Amino acid sequence: MTTLSERVSQSAFDGSRLRVVLLLDLQDGAQQRFLEAYERLCNQVASVPGHISDQLCQSIENPSQWLITSEWESAPPFLAWVNSEEHVEMVQPLHRCVRDTRSLRFSVLRETPEIPTFAPEAAKRRLQTSPRVGDGVVRHALTFTVKPGSEQKVAEILSGYTSPAARVDDTTRLRRTSLFMHGNRVVRAIEVQGDLVAALRHVARQPEVREVEEAINPYLEQDRDLNDENSARVFFTRAALPAVHHVGAIGPEPGDLRRHALYYPARPGCGMAVARLLARQDEVAAHDPSSPVAGSTIFQRDDIVVRLIDLRVPIEQEPVLALGVSGPRKAPVLGRLIDTGADGELGSEREISRFLARSDMALITDRRAPDS
């Protein structure tokens, strides 16, 4: 039997402390302006729930290179803040001083001095208990809405693009891009082997991709100007839909898996709770080798929750497992956290099947790189 420790996994919900590392390359002559902007930001961040501390460092070899590290009680409060509209506005002064940035997030696994054995259990749980198994793949998604009535036209544009070259550099390549729509919401899920930032920049530079992005501009609900660096940055910051949980089998996936994206319309303020519930369900399902769910990735930002699943069977064959509500009372609990509309309280398999059909996003395109 394959155990969870033998499966590829990642999670923002393991309760461990979080270390965030932000690498910055400043514009020439912007050091003092940057320092002043950081001081203002630092005072604001100090009051954010879950924030513990931060530290600003400047390179002793290249004064244009800076490093910001921060520590958080766990990943969820950080993600709630960094994905908020407040954060988007707050960091604008910093971005005006910066030529390039890169953000890295780490669970704290061990530390020196180690927590003594007699320390309270709560303190011990702040460290990740065991390392997770990775596959070298970074999973990320982007989401945005288009003007109502333009959905069919946008779907035609997005399905007709030419895939960019998979190879980015010696260590990074695009593995897969899956694009879905639910009403007027677009979700683009990508899988990258290696450096996500390098891959995103590679894709953005390709003329065939730029042509598609320009073609859908008139239909976007949020205006953007891809020729304006700040406008493009703000748009893609707001569009970011990070992966907060993933489980999957080690090794290559069978070619006959069916990929679906499920949209969970969280009630106001319940997005994180929905993602956490689904993550717990997927952790349990990962222990069952007979589960029809071969892999699952949960993307969440504010109250937008999307669960990408690879199924071994048709989705309508196992609605409870496909929706992620196996077990006593799990479906009604989910029903209280989301807007089920006319589909009821998810108390019966019929209600679950109806909601599953409504939440199953329309697949626009699913493209794998050769040999993925």
pLDDT in tens, the chain (372 residues): 344 446 888 999 988 999 999 999 999 988 999 999 999 888 888 889 999 999 999 999 999 999 999 999 999 999 999 888 888 888 888 888 988 888 999 999 888 766 555 545 544 457 777 788 888 899 999 999 999 999 999 999 999 888 888 888 888 999 999 999 999 999 999 999 988 888 888 888 888 888 999 999 999 999 888 788 778 888 888 899 999 999 987 766 667 899 999 999 999 999 999 999 999 999 888 888 888 899 999 999 999 999 999 999 999 999 999 999 988 889 999 999 999 888 778 988 899 999 999 999 999 999 988 765
Beta strand extents in 27-161 (DSSP E only)? 51-58, 65-72, 98-107, 137-145
Query: Residue 266: inside a domain, yes or no?
Result: yes
Looking at the fold, whether 175 and 256 belong to one and the same domain comes out as yes
CATH number at residue 215: 3.30.70.100
Cα(280)–Cα(271) distance, integer angstroms: 14
Cα(321)–Cα(273) distance, integer angstroms: 19
Looking at the fold, whether 38 and 186 belong to one and the same domain comes out as no
pLDDT score at 304 = 96
Q: Hey, what are 211's tokens?
A: 């042509």
Looking at the fold, whether 63 and 197 belong to one and the same domain comes out as no
Residue span of the structural domain in which 91 resides: 17-124
Q: 């954060």: which residue's tokens?
A: 87
The total number of structural domains in the chain stands at 2
Looking at the fold, whether 247 and 345 belong to one and the same domain comes out as yes
Looking at the fold, whether 76 and 173 belong to one and the same domain comes out as no
Q: Hey, what are 165's tokens?
A: 């070259």
Q: Evaluate whether 152 touches 219 at the Cβ level (below 8 Å).
A: no
